[in-house]
Amino acid sequence: MTIEQTLSIIKPDGVRKKIIGEIQKRFKDAGLTVIKAKMTVFTIADAHRFYSIHKDKPFFNDLLTYITSGPVMVQVLEGENAIELNRKLMGATNPEEAEKGTIRSDFASSIEENVVHGSDGPDTARTEIEFFFG
């Protein structure tokens, strides 16, 4: 049994769609606990730093515009296999490829506006939690 922590973000489109409660219920139903949460807004500098791995991608500038477009809900989720479990609940990056019943399949409007972020491994979980919660 591995209890892990992972970083989840409900992105600006998720907040605008008023589905924070729906998404948090999915975490709870899957056995994940929200142990820290805050609403915040990404500055352009934050967004650059957070998504620096994508800085050479053609979609990087659009990603900065999107992620800074409104408030986000940032959460630390805790539970057994939290990192992989959260990624499973989210579904694939492209909602058209996401499994039915996942957050992105149900709510995302495009590969860019895909409602949620989740850490993709133990190292990113650690650095991303540190990024928002020190």
Q: Which residues of this chain interact with ligand ATP, rule CB under 6 A? A: 54, 59, 63, 93, 111-112, 114, 117-118, 120
Beta bridge pairs of residue 78? 5, 33
Contact 85, 8 (CB under 8 A): no
| CA 71/CA 59 separation, integer angstroms | 21
Give the shortest CB-90-to-ligand ATP separation in angstroms. Answer: 7
Closer Cβ to ligand ATP, 1 or 58, answer by number = 58
Q: Using the minimum distance from each CB to ligand ATP, give the nearer residue, 46 or 120.
A: 120
**Smaller CB separation from ligand ATP, 2 or 52:** 52
**Catalytic residue check, 117:** yes
Q: Of these residues, 117, 119, 128, 132, which one is catalytic?
A: 117
Residues 6+ apart with CB under 8 A from 65: none
Q: How many CB atoms neighbour CB 6 within 10 A?
A: 27
State the catalytic residues.
117
